[in-house]
Structure 1
């Protein structure tokens, strides 16, 4: 199930980077970000990549020319992206809508799309060449808020790689922007979804009031032992297709059958990762994952809102309980953490940011996973049809090695849908993790394996039942 990286190398010839400004004059104003947007943990860049095959009907049209022109047009509607971030009192972020523009790079590479392999997924070879880090462009303050590189391939296909400042939008917001970019590339004059700023909708209440315990910002009760060291780290990508998912679902009790695929994979990895790391039994282990809060509000956020609108759900357990109780214990913890997210939970978190000066997420004994499977990047079309691959460009976040990874959907070489989860662990722990995970995925639910991994539990598994079983 784990897979190694490709050794493909190639040369990319880049044109001089340029700033693309809105096609017409746009308002010069200061636009404050929301109290979700300017959290300390949002102040970083996020990369994505889209890979397109040659389309005979497009002839010799240069995709870079089409996308460059479309970018200028879409920035008329999304003009804050053409500005620069400033910090106000108490480090409050706001966009100075200067109209300076976003970075754009046209390039050519001596490689074909086929050489990347039949199953396209991160890590991508030579990513630093496909998404060039223009010197001085990767800062948060007074830097371009978006960078797009269009690289034409020998086969007639092309790659669009992009990097955006996370304070400006989340995955849903960037999907909205990129969809509009595709519409403009195909000749539309206005986007199908009109963008709305209205970041004040997600600002702290007056007076602020914290009504929930937000464990992700608190120090764990017990942090015995050093769970994760950066020494001798090993990274492997794990693939979950229909066979693997069916094997895991065989361990899910009837009352949890409505669990999502993300929750099921995440809880399984959290449990076996903990077992592999062998932390102090009383250490408080935490699993954090983003939950889209757009559907939690009443009245709902207006259609077109493209700012950040998610919170971190947090499941908590001692290492002993997580490792020794049945798998459905971890499943239930993850499901309950997600179910806790409501409008009041989101408001409480926003107020916490205001009262405590944007605290960072506490990463002691933490593991984080972000799922991107529900995005509709598949539908983005610049005139060359749907992308062969679309989505996250990297396996995780560079500043959170071993702690954070993505849950990445892709098509295998048979055209079947799978989920890839890259994991980084110390080598010794990785050996244990691979053995245990393969053991349950290859078990065919036989009782010997179920008993060994404490997966053989009565139907109707619940927290109350789990307590009584010990």
Structure 2
């Protein structure tokens, strides 16, 4: 059970991309000097996510939509979106010296739009699922001809010799989380049609996630690391520190049968565990919970350190708080509305305790994130300016549904993040969907030192038997 994707050493490493044009799409506000737009407030969740996220979305050939038509439609759609509903996309990050907080000033440099072509066919790339480093050619991260502030968001349309093309995006994470980016793509697709309204009107009131005054930290937050930053340092990159190590990438696949097996494994030991502990509440045995638990065990037990059994391992995973707040946030909230949930256990527990108990820990981590806990976490950020702290984070793109977005030229056949050199982030993303397939399972992308990766792979299979 469980399959391994090969390392694909022969995958093409140079996509032979040529840039044909590079322009800035300016917000109308920027062109009217008499107007002083009000800056966009950034929540304590937004402001620690000051780093770029790149994604690529592959589309098959469509004779009715050659590159020049697709590029024109997308450019016009972006122009419509930055006029009002997403004016902040064309903005820039600034520091409010009075409050000491970062904000988005809407009259910024604009949105980057690049048109390019690759001198290969899409088929020559090989398996699109493989995290090919050459995907970086499909999205320019900065525009060389822009002086001063770089755009917070850049789009690149790259055609292939076969007629297929890729839409690449590079967006600062302060702009969107996964859910709001999905809504943005739906709106982008809707505006690429001739006469369609917005699919979803975004809610841009980020003060809905402002800290309380005074802040009320009512829970301990071991999932967060306290920092004491000088005023203005909030604009710095506050990601997990990336260690410079030689890492190997590997994709492990969990089929729907594998996920079902993990669920059944959890269910079979629940009764015994509930009797032993006197617990009355049944844990939520969801697909994500069992997959996250399976990965947690493999990651923690693969560490190449002395006395690993006594080591405390903490898994982090993002929880969407839109529906968990009281009152709930609008589902169309356009900012970042995710907080890190956590589960902690000694590695000896992860190796020997029943799988159901470990799934319960992960389930409790998500259940903990109710209105009171979420508000406490936001207020904690007001005091300590901290960021998530754990052994690793699971970043799930599994069920965001980017491949469900319908453009005039059809749906993408595959979309994924452009991966980077990080062993403390494990990505989950779907397989390439077939014409009649609804769920082809989940791909697990890990990057680890060779010795740890070898053990991870062994454990990955061992716990599926």
TM-score by length of 2: 0.84
**Secondary structure in 1 matching 2:294:** helix
How far apart are 1:188 and its partner, in Å? Answer: 3.4
**Secondary structure in 2 matching 1:182:** helix
How far apart are 1:431 and its partner, in Å? Answer: 1.9
Query: Which residue, out of 429, 434, 459, partners 2:457?
Result: 434
How far apart are 1:190 and its partner, in Å? Answer: 4.0
Q: Which runs of 4+ in 1 moved over 4 A?
A: 23-27, 135-139, 228-232, 254-258, 412-416
Residues 325, 374 of structure 2: 8 Å contact kept? no
CA distance in 2, matches of 1:421, 1:137: 38
Query: Which residue, out of 315, 323, 330, partners 1:302?
Result: 330
Residues 406, 421 of structure 1: 8 Å contact kept? yes
How far apart are 1:125 and its partner, in Å? Answer: 5.2
How far apart are 1:409 and its partner, in Å? Answer: 0.9
TM-score by length of 1: 0.83
Tell me, yes or no, if structure 1 residue 362 matches structure 2 residue 393: no
Residues 193, 303 of structure 1: 8 Å contact kept? no
How far apart are 1:374 and its partner, in Å? Answer: 2.5
What is residue 274 of structure 2 aligned with on the other side?
A: none
Residues 23, 73 of structure 1: 8 Å contact kept? no
Residues 294, 463 of structure 2: 8 Å contact kept? no
What is residue 405 of structure 1 aligned with on the other side?
A: 426
What is residue 453 of structure 1 aligned with on the other side?
A: none
CA distance in 2, matches of 1:111, 1:403: 34
What is residue 238 of structure 2 aligned with on the other side?
A: none
What is residue 176 of structure 2 aligned with on the other side?
A: 169
What is residue 252 of structure 1 aligned with on the other side?
A: 266
Tell me, yes or no, if structure 1 residue 148 matches structure 2 residue 176: no
**Secondary structure in 1 matching 2:265:** coil
Cα RMSD after superposing both structures:
2.7
Residues 142, 151 of structure 2: 8 Å contact kept? no
What is residue 11 of structure 2 aligned with on the other side?
A: 7
1:204/1:125 CA distance change after superposition, 3 Å: closer
Query: Which residue, out of 277, 287, 293, partners 1:261?
Result: 287
**Secondary structure in 2 matching 1:144:** coil
How far apart are 1:278 and its partner, in Å? Answer: 5.0
1:278/1:28 CA distance change after superposition, 3 Å: same
1:374/1:186 CA distance change after superposition, 3 Å: same
CA distance in 2, matches of 1:298, 1:317: 31
CA deviations 1:214-265 (Å, max 9, x no partner) are 111148xxxxxxxx97544332111111232233234212546841212111
Query: Which residue, out of 254, 259, 265, partners 1:240?
Result: 254
CA distance in 1, matches of 2:340, 2:20: 40
Q: How many residues align?
A: 424
Task: Give the alignment of 1:35-434 within 5 angstroms.
Answer: 35-40=43-48, 42-58=49-65, 62-76=69-83, 77-89=85-97, 91-98=100-107, 100-117=109-126, 120-124=128-132, 126-134=134-142, 142-188=149-195, 190-218=197-225, 231-254=245-268, 255=270, 258-277=284-303, 279=305, 280=307, 281-356=309-384, 358-363=385-390, 366-390=391-415, 392-395=416-419, 397-398=420-421, 401-411=422-432, 417-434=440-457
Residues 232, 426 of structure 1: 8 Å contact kept? yes
Residues 150, 158 of structure 1: 8 Å contact kept? yes
CA deviations 1:316-369 (Å, max 9, x no partner) are 11222222222222211111100100111111011001111x113234xx1110
Give 5+ residue unaligned stretches, structure 1.
220-227, 444-470
How far apart are 1:132 and its partner, in Å? Answer: 2.0
CA distance in 2, matches of 1:408, 1:63: 26
Residues 109, 149 of structure 2: 8 Å contact kept? no
1:138/1:61 CA distance change after superposition, 3 Å: closer
Residues 23, 72 of structure 1: 8 Å contact kept? no
**Secondary structure in 2 matching 1:294:** coil
Give 5+ residue unaligned stretches, structure 2.
227-241, 271-281
1:192/1:246 CA distance change after superposition, 3 Å: closer
